[in-house]
Amino acid sequence: MEEIKDIELNGKNATDLVNGMKATGFQATHLAQAVELIEQMKKEKATIFLGFTANLMASGLRGIVKELCEKKFINAIVTTAGSIDHDIIKSFMPYKQGTFMANDVELHQKGINRIGNIFVETKGFEILEEKMQKWLAEIYSKEKTISPSKLAKFIGEKLPKESFLHWCSKNNLPIFCPGITDGAIGLQMHFFKQENPDFVMDVTKDMKKLADIVLTADKTGAIILGGGISKHHIIGANIIRDGLDYAVYISTAAEFDGSLSGAQTREAKSWGKLKENGNSVQINCDATIAFPLIAAALKEKGIL
């Protein structure tokens, strides 16, 4: 057993801090182990899936995801409809810093929507509606049935370089969104379909595309921020190859209610979603705290 060591704040960069965290204990140790595991994923040339929930794209973490896509650090993304919503809106207007303790009735009356301590003006969704109806009409003029990944690629071609969708489109990184109707873009597709009933969003169309990536990979790894459908779609897809080789989970969800969001990496092994000898790290922490430290350390090491 290695000894616990006191952190000395004489380091000059994130790498020094993370290295010091390895012998700290608790979640700090797990964070340092996650950096090493992601480094191993890259060294082993694993196909890396990045999964995240929509709330994280409302935060400043969007910039890190954008950089991962720009540098082709990951090979595919699995996320929710809200992530696409936020990426579109933030491409045209800023989100504001608020407070968890705001009066939500007053916010509603002022046309402000709260995501924790992040405020989003309702006019952002008006911008999204205008853009989506125009884009859906353009798509519909060429084809009547489309998959979520193809829609995400099309949208990315319309967005500026600050957008993670932009870089996914530019670098041909697929974005899988199995719950694409559960968000503002889903509502816009519903509105569009009222006038164009033969328009079809075929979610099943992406299943072969995802399976092909999983089955043709020599090794697979996952970096999963949060839980829900983004998490499960990655680990579930890897059942067909007897599980992921590597997994890093960052989540604040607890496992004691049996939820998928709170399920630990060890539970995934019972399902064959992570190999029995798979290497994994679980960090119980807010991803907006843990992931910037991980990314900064990887960048300083020359891995990102």
Q: For residue 224, count CB atoms less than 10 angstroms from its CB and return exposed for 0-12, middle for 13-18, buried for 19 or more.
A: buried
Strand order in the sheet with 112-115: 96-97, 118-121, 112-115
pLDDT in tens, 106-160: 999 999 999 999 999 999 999 999 999 999 999 999 999 999 999 999 999 999 9
Supply the mean pLDDT for the chain.
97
- What distance in Å separates the CA atoms of residue 203 and residue 149, rounded to the nearest whole number? 9
Residue 9 binned pLDDT confidence (cut-offs 50, 70, 90): confident
Domains located in the chain, CATH noted: 45-293 (3.40.910.10)
Over the stretch 54-93, which tens digit does the pLDDT of each residue have? Answer: 999 999 999 999 999 999 999 999 999 999 999 999 999 9
pLDDT of residue 179: 97
CB atoms closer than 10 angstroms to residue 15: 17
Cα distance between residue 149 and residue 49, in whole Å: 14
- Position with higher pLDDT, 2 vs 24: 24
Element (H, E) at 88: helix 81-90
Distance CA 193, CA 201 (A): 10
CA 12 to chain centre: 30
For the four alpha carbons of 58, 60, 61 and 65, in that order, the dihedral sign comes to positive
Q: Average pLDDT in the 195-200 region?
A: 98
Q: Which residues are catalytic?
A: 273
Instruction: Tell me how far apart the alpha carbons of residues 273 and 269 are, in angstroms, rounded to a whole number.
Output: 6
CB 200 within 8 A of CB 71: no
Give the Cα separation of 175 and 149 in Å (integer). 5
Q: How many CB atoms lie within 10 A of CB 92?
A: 14
